Structure 1
Amino acid sequence: MSPPEPVRRPTYPLAHAFRRKPRRLPLVLRFAKGAVHDIILVPVLLHSLFTVLIVYIDTRYVDSISIPATIIPSLSIVVGLMLVFRNSTSYDRFWTGRNCLTTIGTSVRNLARISLVNSRGKDGETTMAERRDTERIVRVLIAVLYAIKHNLRAEFNIPPASLASLPPQPNPYARSTPVSRRPSYVDHTVSSPATPSMNTPLLSRSGSTLHNGDDTIPTKKDEYVSLLPEGLMGYEDQGLGLPLQLTILVEGYLRRGYDRGWFHGPLASQMTVQLNSLVDAYGRMETIRSTPLPIAHLIHQKQVLALFTCVLPFAIVDDYRWWSVLVVAIVAFTLYGIEGIGVQLEDPFGYDKNDIKMDGIIEDTRQEVMVLLEEWKANHEGRAMGGMFD
């Protein structure tokens, strides 16, 4: 009797990064979910009200308060140049961030692939401890993706930060049995009464409660905490980023693989290059996150936009009368909308609709690498069906 066919799950490559459902409304009719109308509503409303005041004064109290319309082309050139610079700079940050995320994902794929294929001796045999070591590092590679995502979003203290500044305490993660007899990974969210859970405020070096970048207490992140090695303690309260800390574990694995004869010199060198490329890409993403546009440019841009839309009613009030309100509202909507798009793209690593879909992209990479890992484990247990790692 032939074995049953394997059941396929309803997924496919890049399933989470792609848009899943068709648009219900044409984009021209959309005023939410990705639009910038909430950003520009206040300035458009204020300039419209200002135009109402100008038209009212012009029609009721004075003969004419208009100015020559020839001033408008001169100001529009300046406004156009500044908006083009702002949007092109913001989109370049968005595109660079997306390319860096691709570089990181590619490095994780390559390192996981090479590790799984080559993590065995010339006779093809490995010990249980060596297989656990390889599985641990593949999971760490996936955790690097999540650590980078959370650091770029200023979501720190995952896992718990170091408690080095506190009096000596029993280590809740201490190994009580040999490594080979314990599971390689634990869920850090399960804690004893004496152990601070992921939702419990932890003390920093100054004795105050650790907070995220938005002054909220960090919460647990179940999607990747279980990927971290047992007993791992972060040192973010001392300035060490978790992505760099995890890459040190990967570097140590490369060294052990070289010593075991799994990776020859050129291959180990290539893997180190992949790891360096990952760190370099993360550094460039950090640069985007921590380097806003110069404040002088932002101030002048806001002032020029306000100046232009405040001067415009005086130039058109005699020709358009009350229609000037609609004209100014349309112009303000257009110009401030372009400026609002630049604001959205300036920091592309958050949760906004216009940000990079980091959650979906990372989930797709995790899905791929975890399938490879499960097939690799099945191959070593003698129950592989596809022979992927034979």
Structure 2
Amino acid sequence: MVTERKQWFQTVFQIKGSVIPSILGRTVLCGLFGVVISVLSYWKLPVAMPTLASLIPNIVLGLLLVFRTNTAYERFWEGRKCWGTLINTVRNLARQIWLAIVVSTPEARAQKIVVLRMLVAFCVATKLHLRQESLNDELSKLLPPAKYEILKTMHHPPLEIAFWIGDYLQQQERNHLNAYQLSAMHKLLDTLVDMLGACERILKTPMPMAYAIHLKQLLLLYCLSLPFQVVGSVSWLTGPVVILISFTLFGIEEIGIEIENPFGHDANDLPLDAICATMLRNIEDLISLKPGCEEIKDKG
């Protein structure tokens, strides 16, 4: 927020991340239509209509746009909350695995490190799954080669990784974890899968097509009727005025389209790459710390 205040004018004229490229064509088209109506009005043709006649359409369109924007932002914010929960759950589960499971051999310690990195792999696989992208090097670096090869044959990689983590926890029940610890860890793992499902719900529940079509039709009709409403008052300025109003309305609608799926690569989407990189740094920092119980065991 501080950066945005310092670069206020730079933000005003910024094209990247804005909806200007998406709405420029239709905005200019409406403006040109406004110029045509100005010419017809100059020739004394009866093209002007009373401004009050558009009062009801103005209210209806305003309500529709508000509902559209609020619905889209609600999806965006729910996606952000899901990924916030993913971050916290990965940290908590990693901390519990690292502290509660006491290992006595280098092989067991290496296996525990593999499982901790699997937590990050789950988030990376979730990101790729939501973006409908294939597995890549980012994921292969977090998994043993054999696991990665198996994962390439799976239809739902995040669930397979969650299974591997759960299987590891179950194996620790006999020697390292009591029933309460195991239950707590499985509950955190369940939360990871729940957040995956919540993100899939956002992704696979688009705006109803009938609503989207009707809103676009109403927007277009309204913007094309604008010249008839304002030509009597602004005459030759009808084109610029129509461009300004159309820019506002089309922009609001396009922003809703931009943010309703927050899992992509656009500037307005969630920074999932940065989030996954942060989680990996957190896990690597945790791995660099040696639990006190293991230090005591080494001394003994």
TM-score (norm 1): 0.71
Amino acid at match of 1:259: R
RMSD: 2.3
Structure-to-structure mapping, 1:1-390, within 5 angstroms: 24=7, 26=9, 29-60=12-43, 62-120=44-102, 126-156=104-134, 158=135, 221-232=136-147, 233-234=149-150, 240-260=155-175, 262-376=176-290
Structure 1 distance, partners of 2:237, 2:273, is 46
Instruction: Give the C-alpha shift of residue 247 in structure 1.
Output: 0.4
1:113-135: per-residue Cα shift (whole Å, max 9, x none)? 01110111xxxx51222212211
In the alignment, is the contact (CA less than 8 A) between 2:117 and 2:280 conserved in 1? no
Match of 1:212 in 2: none
Q: Distance in 2 between matches of 1:35 and 1:234?
A: 41
Gaps of 5+ in 2: none
Q: CA deviation at 1:63?
A: 3.2
Once residues 307 and 139 of structure 1 are traced to their aligned partners in structure 2, the CA distance between those partners, rounded to angstroms, is: 54
Unaligned 5+ runs, structure 1: 1-17, 159-220, 383-390
Question: Sequence identity, in percent?
Answer: 33
| Aligned CA distance change for structure 1 residues 280 and 130 (closer, same or farther; 3 Å) | same
Distance 2:164 2:50 in 1: 69
TM-score for both structures, normalised by structure 2: 0.91
Mapped to 1, the partners of 2:84 and 2:202 lie a distance apart of 15
Alignment length (residue pairs): 295
Higher helix share: 2
Deviation for aligned residue 1:377:
8.8
CA–CA separation in structure 2 for the residues paired with 1:236 and 1:78 = 50
Deviates more, 1:251-260 or 1:66-75: 66-75
- Contact conserved, 1:234 with 1:242, CA < 8 A, in 2? no
> Relative contact order, CA 8 A, sep 6+: which one is greater?
2
CA contact under 8 A between 2:202 and 2:261: conserved in structure 1?
A: yes
Task: Answer yes or no: is the 8 Å Cα contact 1:140–1:229 preserved in 2.
Answer: no
1:107–1:296 Cα change, 3 Å: same
Structure 1 residues 310 and 36: alpha-carbon distance in aligned structure 2, compared to 1, 3 A threshold: same
Report SS of the residue matched to 2:30. helix
Separation in 2 of the partners of 1:26 and 1:223? 37
Give 1:69 deviation, angstroms.
Answer: 1.7
